[in-house]
């Protein structure tokens, strides 16, 4: 059994060497009937997973690594809202404009708005390359809506990856985060600094502090997490889907823990 797990783990790590392209997220941002051309190498497993964890624990960082190496597309509801910010206000629906105000304060966007956003993207949930939901679901009501959507599409979740880290380390990850205003690449002033201060290595854009990374919004986000999102770990544990992963150490170390845990399932 151990030999088999080791072999499966090596396969997951080999995938890293063979595929290092970023999946196309067009369909996720556009919604509706938009689709993309994502496929996996023949015989590769299409992972369908949810990422859980407090704001700033490193879900987006891990999503990027898993996505590049194992193929599932990163579906972040926060990214959809942030993309809406770049639209002209006249192009935003009233629900989307209200969502941006909740987000700025660090509060959760109402369930019906978020569920509507995901429901408008069925092609992403039935993508042949799989998916990695990042930031959704965040409440039990959202989890129940997701279960219904997946049931209707005949799709099963493989696992829910729950990343855990002490609060002081989370706050330091959040307060040091800088995000590119152009391509949205994520940096950290101490652990992942750009080559030139405040300038994106990838596109030359200006790095900014996310509005909800201000101390007062961080406090509200942590409270919302403790009240509404943390109980989801128990929801998924009861359904046999939860995998808890320690989120200390480097992103690479955490990715390896994730790969080992997936290989052991
Ligand atoms: P969302 O965009 O989902 O944000 P979040 O869950 O608060 O998570 P973050 O993006 O802040 O952090 P992360 O865990 O991805 O960490 P990251 O990898 O960037 O949601 C934003 C808002 O949208 C919500 O507050 C809400 O208003 C709304 N919303 C979205 N979805 C919703 C929903 N379903 N329901 C209701 N409302 C919703 O890492 C953080 C920093 O740490 C970075 O600087 C990174 O470089 C650094 N870092 C990462 N890993 C490591 C490491 N191992 N070591 C050192 N540094 C590290």
Residue 177 annotated to the active site: yes
Q: Whose CA is nearest to atom 5 of ligand 1?
A: 55
| Rounded CA separation 100/249 (Å) | 32
Q: Which residues of the chain have pLDDT under 50?
A: 3-4, 14, 16-19
Is the model's pTM score more than 0.85?
Answer: yes
Helices marked H in the chain = 2-18, 26-30, 59-70, 77-85, 94-105, 111-119, 122-125, 140-153, 167-175, 215-224, 231-238, 251-263
Cβ–ligand 1 contact at 50 (below 6 Å)? no
According to the model, what pLDDT value does residue 146 have? 98
Cβ–ligand 1 contact at 188 (below 6 Å)? yes
Catalytic residue among 82, 126, 192, 210: 210
Catalytic residue among 48, 138, 178, 257: 138
According to the model, what pLDDT value does residue 10 have? 54
Contact in structure between 188 and 173 (CB atoms under 8 Å): yes
| Rounded CA separation 242/218 (Å) | 26
Distance of CA 144 to CAs 82, 87, 148, 236, Å? 25, 31, 6, 11
| Rounded CA separation 104/106 (Å) | 5
According to the model, what pLDDT value does residue 8 have? 57
What is the whole-number distance in angstroms between the Cα of residue 56 and the centre of ligand 1? 4
Query: Domain spans of the chain?
Result: 2-165+251-263
Contact in structure between 99 and 87 (CB atoms under 8 Å): no
Residue 59 annotated to the active site: yes
According to the model, what pLDDT value does residue 15 have? 52
**Would you state the CATH architecture of domain 2-165+251-263?**
3-Layer(aba) Sandwich (3.40)
According to the model, what pLDDT value does residue 17 have? 37
């Amino acid at each position: 059994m151990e030999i088999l797990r080791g072999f499966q783990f090596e396969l997951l790590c080999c995938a890293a060497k063979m595929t290092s392209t970023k999946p196309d997220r067009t369909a996720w941002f556009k919604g509706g009937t938009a689709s993309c051309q994502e496929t996996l190498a023949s015989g590769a497993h299409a992972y369908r997973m949810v990422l859980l964890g407090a704001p700033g624990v490193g879900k987006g960082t891990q999503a990027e690594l898993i996505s590049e190496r194992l193929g599932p597309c990163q579906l972040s509801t926060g990214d959809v809202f942030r993309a809406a910010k770049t639209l002209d206000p006249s192009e935003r629906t009233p629900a989307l404009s209200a969502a941006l105000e909740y987000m700025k304060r660090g509060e959760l966007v109402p369930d019906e708005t978020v569920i509507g956003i995901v429901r408008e993207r069925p092609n992403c949930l039935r993508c042949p390359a799989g998916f990695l939901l990042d930031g959704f679901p965040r409440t039990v009501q959202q989890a129940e809506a997701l279960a219904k959507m997946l049931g209707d599409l005949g799709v099963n979740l493989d696992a829910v990856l729950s990343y855990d880290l002490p609060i002081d380390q989370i706050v330091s990850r959040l307060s040091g985060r800088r995000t590119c205003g152009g391509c949205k690449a994520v940096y950290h002033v101490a652990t992942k600094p750009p080559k030139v201060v405040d300038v994106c290595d990838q596109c030359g854009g200006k790095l900014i502090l996310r509005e909800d990374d201000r101390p007062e919004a961080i406090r509200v986000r942590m409270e919302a997490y403790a009240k509404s999102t943390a109980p989801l770990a128990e929801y998924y544990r009861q359904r046999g889907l939860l995998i808890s992963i320690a989120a200390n150490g480097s992103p690479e170390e955490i990715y390896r823990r994730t790969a080992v845990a997936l290989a052991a399932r």
